[in-house]
Amino acid sequence: MTAQALTRTAPPRPARPRRALLRLHRPALIVWGVFVAVISAVLLWAYGPLGNAARTAWQQQCTKNLCDWNDSIEGYHLAYTLAEVALHFVPVVVAVWAGGMLIGRELEHGTAQLAWTQSVSPARWLAAKLALPAVLLTAGTTVLVLLHRLLFDAHKIPDGWSWNDDNAFYANGTIAIAYPLLGLALGALAGLVARRALAGIGVAVLVTATTTSLTTMAAPHLVPWKTSVGDLKEGYAAPKNVIYGGEGAVTSTGAHIPDPCVGGGKACPAAHDIVGYYSEYHPSSQFWPLQLTETALVLAVAALATAAAFTLLRRRTA
């Protein structure tokens, strides 16, 4: 047999996992690129022409007794809010795509099993599935967070944004970059567990919503709270523009207890040995400790979910 015949009959080389992933999930990658481009354009528009128009309108229409919002001011706040809400939904959407399309559908249709017979190991297949989306998600959300911070610091119309607002706090720091990676990891794990597209979507939504809620509630308690104490006349003395934690009553021994006098009479504090009230809070100076602590927590959970996915895949393909 000649060398030419050997060349003609040689089987084609299997596509590399990343290249195959780009072809298979091209629509999702295009949607992500369009999403980042649109939200970036909205933020830049609000930062530039729309923000300048809103500021001019506010200065012209605001009198000593009345301040009216016109279309430019309404549009400015709508653009700002749209970007924050869109960023908030990214982790769940990523989990739905990962659990249903990225993993669940390929296991259901046998595409993954076919790839494992074409010189691509299961571990390498899953690594390729997760690595490329992780890079694109990190790059895209980083751009959006930087643009959001640029807008946040630019215009104060009518009275500025509050750092402790849930949406602003999320979109202004590193947690907006970490949560989509958590959605990717949990979605992949859900797809491996369900091994079906629709079931993977359902499991991914449930697990991601539950996990994000738990991490959001737990994170503020991992950073030490500041405490303010007010006397009986002053009451709760927490400053404004903070993230509030617990509050309660202070006894004469200095103990912090739940307030037993809510709705009680004037004689209630003396009857319970209450001499003041305490409030726990996080001031604006703790923005980055809060951000970095929650980011570390989210990435740790994402790493555990990723390790669980590889372990499950290894056991099923052993």
Amino acid of residue 188: A
Q: Is the peptide bond before 224 cis (omega within 30 degrees of 0)?
A: no
Q: What is the pLDDT of residue 1?
A: 47
| Residues 163, 83 share a domain | yes
Q: Which domain holds residue 264?
A: 223-286
CA distance 148 to 36: 12
Question: Rounded to whole angstroms, how far apart are CA atoms 175 and 219?
Answer: 11
Residues 166 and 277 in one domain: no
**What pLDDT, on a 0 to 100 scale, did the predictor assign at position 170?**
95
Same domain, yes or no, for 35 and 143?
Answer: yes
Tens-digit pLDDT string for the chain (318 aa): 454 544 455 455 544 556 666 676 788 889 999 999 999 999 999 898 888 888 777 777 665 445 666 677 888 888 888 999 999 999 999 999 999 888 988 888 888 788 788 778 888 889 988 998 999 999 999 999 999 999 888 877 766 678 888 899 999 999 999 999 999 999 999 999 999 999 999 999 999 999 999 999 999 999 999 999 988 888 888 888 899 998 899 998 889 888 888 777 778 888 888 888 999 999 999 999 999 999 999 999 999 999 999 999 999 887
pLDDT in tens, 13-56: 544 556 666 676 788 889 999 999 999 999 999 898 888 888 77
**Residues 76 and 101 grouped into a single domain:** yes
Looking at the structure of the chain, the number of domains it has is 2
Q: Indicate the pTM of the whole model.
A: 0.86
Answer yes or no: is 59 within a domain: yes
Domain co-membership, 188 together with 307: yes
Q: Give the residues across from 280 on adjacent strands.
A: 227
Please report whether residue 5 resides in a domain: no
Residues 245 and 255 in one domain: yes
**Are residues 236 and 212 located together in one domain of the fold?**
no
User: Given this model, what pLDDT does residue 16 score?
Assistant: 58
- 305 with 161, same domain? yes
What digits encode the pLDDT tens for the residues 129-172? 899 899 999 999 999 999 999 988 887 776 667 888 889 999 99
- Asked if the structure places residue 4 within a domain, the reply is no
Contact 119, 302 (CB under 8 A): no
On whether residue 184 sits in a domain, the answer given is yes
Residue 205 lies in a domain: yes
Q: Are residues 241 and 295 in the same domain?
A: no
Q: Is residue 8 part of a domain?
A: no
Q: Which residues pair with residue 243 across a beta bridge?
A: 282
Separation of alpha carbons 184 and 161, rounded Å: 30
| Residue 300: inside a domain | yes
205 and 136 in a common domain: yes
Listed residue (205, 250, 207) closest to 227, CA to CA:
250
Please check whether residues 141 and 231 belong to one and the same domain. Answer: no
Which whole-number Å values give the CA distances from 57 to 49, 75, 301, in the listed order?
12, 12, 46
Same domain? 247 vs 305: no
